[in-house]
Structure 1
């Protein structure tokens, strides 16, 4: 029952995540107004989440139908592990950088003007390279397809797993046994670098942005005067500040809910644990949280960005209009023109 439920949930989230991330990518790509530093970062995040949503059904297959015997080949097994860690680290780096430059734009707006789209593209390129080297390559090397055995023992640490039940078999596509100790050390270093420290940075940065906006609002109130405050420009500015704060809070909250449980699960599963049913449920719940947050991220982008909503409506309205014009022209071309002269037959 649990396997079928999780499989359905992962499938629905995969379809929804692919659709929403594609929508955001198409909007940013076609709109000339969405070329700012923040929109480029959002586009890169959407592409990362799109890849994750695409491979998520394979992970569900790995923990359910492919647990006993992985039939998709060693290359596919290595690929999904590598892409999963690659996109996770890309997301972590992007959101951390997004929060930091948002704080910088509020504290030093005159200096932030010098930060161009070219700088953002450079960061995006470096982030994908670093995440690939630190996330993709190690997992491609350490993972593989093995026969599902009843017991797996690591001599030095006495790490073992008992005979699994049908619902929680240790998947066939997994870490190879000699690499488990390396992976245990790896998650301590890598997760501290790409999950824990970025999470603390995001929380502190989000709080600092809220505190800075509140401080600036009080200063403007003293400058303009309490009787005429807030005026129309101030109301417009407050709406913009609300969008900035809400968008960042949603993105950071989504990252914490989606990625911290997964990191905790990997620490949990690397310890001595005989209850594989709990291990299976914990792992699938953590993975579902991550997929859910990645699917909802584009919704957060739209909810907190009036410009993205308007540009999406404009792009699709223009596309519908062009389609209607094209259909009208096709109909007019197929209309039979009446002949000018008709001939009569004499009796």
Structure 2
């Protein structure tokens, strides 16, 4: 089948029927859920990012630099999620927003998807190095990790983020449920080839590596726990934090992107586009919103130093916003300042 026939088949089958999964009333509730989740994800990820940025001790931890970059990815995804929900046709029949919003939202969606999976891959590789090469890992500082994060953002944009900006367009829908914010005929062939040939390397393969390395990390930590159980409680707490990091961060990623993984595997296998897109978009919206909203809470839950810094930051912020307590922030310890005990406690 040539490219023209594939495009025609794709356009004819990529028709959104909102009643396939939910009634109109249920779709309205889902819209409210997406907006609330987007607000929580935006605010929570912004707070964690600002807290780590303002605290010198936290910034010096290489792992926290990865968390900061993940917060940026979740923040962008949360901001764009209401537009992506609107674009997919669950509520409106046509796309009535400006064309640039369609281009920007799809660009962010593609960009953050690849960037996030590469961030998680960097996270599990860092954990493997912590377990096996702790002395050599001391040579890697926060500047090295920051450079790696910048490379991931540039690489993911160069391969996945740019083409929706030029390829997406608004067209008059021929069917009441057809998506009017869609890839143009000029670029849809590129999009199909991108999904079939590039994403298996950039998305699916790293996911399998993440799963394998995560299982390995959990196995090693379980062995270490059996050994250190007879030693100090401090060592056991450190291993518990590492275990929580892997379970929460990688687990949240797998849950949030499971529809994306299933969709890409089906595309690689040549499955029917239409039905695959239906299930992919619906469950993807729900699970991704939950994941990106909970991630910043997982970061604070797994790291005592981040949790303490976030608490102090919120207290200071609330005092500044409350006129009756305007004098309290000056008396409190600034987020950059930390006690000697806190300086010794860095996130694993």
Q: TM-score range by the shorter chain?
A: 0.7 to 0.9
Structure 1 gaps, min length 5: 151-165, 222-228, 330-347
Matched, 1:20 2:41: no
Range 181-190 or range 73-82, more displaced: 181-190
In structure 2, what is the Cα distance between the partners aligned to 1:318 and 1:63? Answer: 41
Q: Give the one of 78, 82, 87 matched to 1:57.
A: 82
Give the aligned partner of residue 287 of structure 1: 285
1:128-167 pair list within 5 angstroms = 128-150=153-175
In structure 2, what is the Cα distance between the partners aligned to 1:25 and 1:183? Answer: 33
Matched, 1:73 2:125: no
Matched, 1:213 2:238: no
In structure 1, what is the Cα distance between the partners aligned to 2:264 and 2:137? Answer: 39
State the Cα distance separating 1:194 from its structure 2 match: 2.9
Range 310-319 or range 139-148, more displaced: 310-319
Name the structure where helix makes up a greater proportion of residues.
2
Q: Is the 8 A contact 1:262 1:290 kept in 2?
A: no
Give the aligned partner of residue 208 of structure 2: 200
Give the aligned partner of residue 154 of structure 1: none
Give the aligned partner of residue 173 of structure 1: 181
Give the aligned partner of residue 146 of structure 2: 121
> Closer, same or farther in 2 for the Cα pair 1:140/1:318, shift >3 Å?
closer
Q: Is the 8 A contact 2:83 2:105 kept in 1?
A: yes
Q: Is the 8 A contact 2:199 2:264 kept in 1?
A: no
Give the aligned partner of residue 230 of structure 1: 230
In structure 1, what is the Cα distance between the partners aligned to 2:202 and 2:237? Answer: 32
In structure 2, what is the Cα distance between the partners aligned to 1:253 and 1:235? Answer: 26
State the Cα distance separating 1:7 from its structure 2 match: 0.8
TM-score by length of 2: 0.78
Aligned length: 300
Q: Is the 8 A contact 1:187 1:267 kept in 2?
A: no
> Closer, same or farther in 2 for the Cα pair 1:89/1:274, shift >3 Å?
closer
Q: Is the 8 A contact 2:200 2:264 kept in 1?
A: no
In structure 2, what is the Cα distance between the partners aligned to 1:81 and 1:314? Answer: 37
In structure 2, what is the Cα distance between the partners aligned to 1:192 and 1:327? Answer: 55
Give the aligned partner of residue 297 of structure 2: 299
> Closer, same or farther in 2 for the Cα pair 1:112/1:68, shift >3 Å?
same
Q: Is the 8 A contact 1:99 1:202 kept in 2?
A: yes
Structure 2 gaps, min length 5: 1-23, 329-348
State the Cα distance separating 1:328 from its structure 2 match: 4.9
> Closer, same or farther in 2 for the Cα pair 1:265/1:240, shift >3 Å?
same
In structure 2, what is the Cα distance between the partners aligned to 1:84 and 1:249? Answer: 25
State the Cα distance separating 1:212 from its structure 2 match: 2.3
SS of the residue corresponding to residue 33 of structure 1 reads helix
Give the aligned partner of residue 156 of structure 1: none
Q: Give the one of 251, 259, 262 matched to 1:264.
A: 262
TM-score by length of 1: 0.78
RMSD: 2.6
In structure 2, what is the Cα distance between the partners aligned to 1:171 and 1:251? Answer: 34
Give the aligned partner of residue 311 of structure 1: 309
> Closer, same or farther in 2 for the Cα pair 1:320/1:74, shift >3 Å?
closer
In structure 1, what is the Cα distance between the partners aligned to 2:224 and 2:196? Answer: 40
State the Cα distance separating 1:321 from its structure 2 match: 6.0
* Cα-to-partner distance string for 1:242-296 (whole Å, 9 max, x where unaligned): 1112111211121112123024336668854666xx8545422222211221111
Q: Is the 8 A contact 2:87 2:181 kept in 1?
A: yes
Q: Which of the two has higher C-alpha Rg?
A: 1
State the Cα distance separating 1:179 from its structure 2 match: 3.2
Give the aligned partner of residue 101 of structure 1: 126
Matched, 1:183 2:182: no
SS of the residue corresponding to residue 34 of structure 1 reads helix
> Closer, same or farther in 2 for the Cα pair 1:320/1:282, shift >3 Å?
closer
In structure 2, what is the Cα distance between the partners aligned to 1:105 and 1:122? Answer: 19
> Closer, same or farther in 2 for the Cα pair 1:309/1:69, shift >3 Å?
same
